[in-house]
Structure 1
Amino acid sequence: MTPTETDARTEFQRAEERTAHNYHPLPVVVQHAEGAWMTDVAGTRYLDLLAGYSALNFGHGHPELTRVAREQLEQLTLTSRAFVHDRFADFCAALGDLCGKDLVLPMNTGAEAVETAIKVARKWGYEVKGVPPGRAKILVMTGNFHGRTTTVVGFSDDPDAHNGFGPFTPGFQAVTYGDLAAVEAAIDEDTVAVLLEPIQGEGGVVIPPDDFLPGVRELCTRHDVLMVADEIQSGLGRTGRTFACDHSDVVPDVYVLGKALGGGIIPVSAVVADRDVLSVLRPGQHGSTFGGNPLACAVGAAVVQLLGTGEPQRRATELGVVLRERLEAMVGHGVLDVRVRGLWAGVDIDPTVGTGRDVCEALMARGVLAKDTHGSTIRLAPPLVVSEEDLGWGLDQLAAVVGG
């Protein structure tokens, strides 16, 4: 029997009936994907302009990444960190070199890596900086998104993420994102870290003022505070550079990485820093059963190798010019504002056109998949392998939807 749209709707309804509603997905049921395109159970093709929130920077089914994964599946998938496996050293060395740092602590998910970075920063504050026990403070930013653990949502100002999940972990102070004076005023002798996203992805691809990241770097150095950069969405080629911090010539003390590090195949994350930071952890103080497993290390090392060619970064830069020019032409024609860095954009929809969700549903009907955030904004993050022709076609559909 040939699948039909009715079959697709039935599959979607079955999923909705047996799933906790922590997401509000578009009514599409994907069955196959390759490169920048996905196909649903009814055979309808869609251009993917989300790329799994940057987890699919290298596209669906990248041939080199899937080859490495298949080969590793036949060799060894898990040992736990009770033992060392033959892919571990290569992955840690390659990722450390990519970041210019001494040590790598592999984890699984982005939220787990953020939690790890928080623990490391506190431990460093007590053992290295000399903050009195129980007084370590971490500065965070308004509009932040670092995951959805109870610790992280405690310092989120998104009511959906925050409300109803307390009591929350103390030790965090929020300051206005992009406001260097606010950061400086909040730093005191108990401050151990400033945790920030170089570009706020969930917030709508919010780019701070040019002097913000260099200024935070200088303040952290001057006050002996760790600068912790959450590059889970912004890193690994998305913005046209290996890391979003590179655009400001800033090197943080700690990189928090995830999403694209797993090549769209397996969850892989990591905290990367120099020895004087990560060496504060000793056996028994932190761990992860699946963190740094052989399959993850094999895929992660292949991702680092791809980035080492510079090709993903180059494509993001070149196609980012197309993305920026096309989106800026829509401002005043159904779009209020756009923010673009590399192949990543936040698009603020004119409310007279509809909500971000309305626009995403209209795009889906035209064969394009994107995601809304904060009501009136949609995020565009195509796989870096998307062709210029396909990207242009997808933007044509957006222009038609918003009336631009």
Structure 2
Amino acid sequence: MELIEIDLKWRNSKQQQLDQIPKAETSIRKVSGEISYVDFFNEFMQPNIPCIFKSEIVDKWRSKTDWVDDRGKPNFDFLAKTFGDSVAPVANCSQQYFNAQKKDDMRVNKFIEYWKKYIQDGYPTSEQCLYLKDWHFSRNFPEYDAYKCPEIFSSDWLNEYWSAKGGDDYKFVYMGPKGSWTPLHVDVFTSFSWSANVCGQKRWILFPPGTEKKLKNKLGDLPNQRELSDDLLKEGIVADQFAGETIFVPSGWHHQVWNVEDTISINHNWLNGCCVRNSWLSLEQGLKSVEKELADCSDMDAWSEQCQLVLKAVAGIDFKEFLDFLLFIARQRIICLDGESPLSAGNTLLGKEHAYFDLSKIVDVLELFYKITPNPDCDNGLQLIKEVLGKYPSS
């Protein structure tokens, strides 16, 4: 495995935070050819800027060979025969459920039958449009090597942590006909995401952090409409992603996505030291919103604990689990710094400089955490990490 190290210049860089609104770009940069991890880190991940990679990452994947026919279209026969008995979540693009779409579980072969008929009928707009999404494919088919995570996305704390815990991941397959879409949203935990088109074409509109405030109505809800109005479009960046291309969606960028053609994509949500502060700020704001909603019950017993329960239901994580997540990642980085072997990240090795970077960012968030929820675990973790970092040069 190749060893990845990062340049010391990160110590003098300023991470783009949620409370800083970057200048809106007129287009998304498309990167041709190979890009090194260090260049991706410095040009896109650390400054929190979106991009699309045109390199032939997908062409090397088994999914490109098996899932796509000679015309570049989904290979329905193979998909139904090989994965048809699996159950996946399927969204009804015509039915709103809060700020998302209503989902029901469906066998993959039934969805394929629907999809083929939908094409034969000419993609009728009068009928409901279904979209198979958020399918934990790797969890359901662990022996099927559908793809390899690109090296530039290998520093992935989310899947590192939940893989160790067992039972969950943030790795998904999306399959949908032309016309299916995903409403405006920000990714879980205010994480990064990457999405690679195995076949088909997507159209994205992305909004820089902060601009989503202009999109919300008086109740604080984001618009839920298939075609965004011209006023909303002015605030965002529109980009087309073609077959074989991979998009990087930065932390805190709200986005809406349409399938321009019949499309299959592979997606990961992930976060690391470059965006963990954004994740914490978003979680902290989430708790404030919960406390505001439950303010009338603030005199009840265990009110704070109840707020954390609601926070976990809404955000997918509470303060206790977020702290456990940070301390788990910190322990792995301390092992890397104190030991002889590098840190494994999928098919890649992260070096000691990268471990130092990660720990320094964890310290930043733990200090913010401690101000809100002081507790011994957080304090002990902070002191240990600072002690370890103190053994290494700071510049």
Tell me the TM-score normalized by structure 2.
0.28
Taking structure 1 as the reference length, the TM-score comes to 0.28
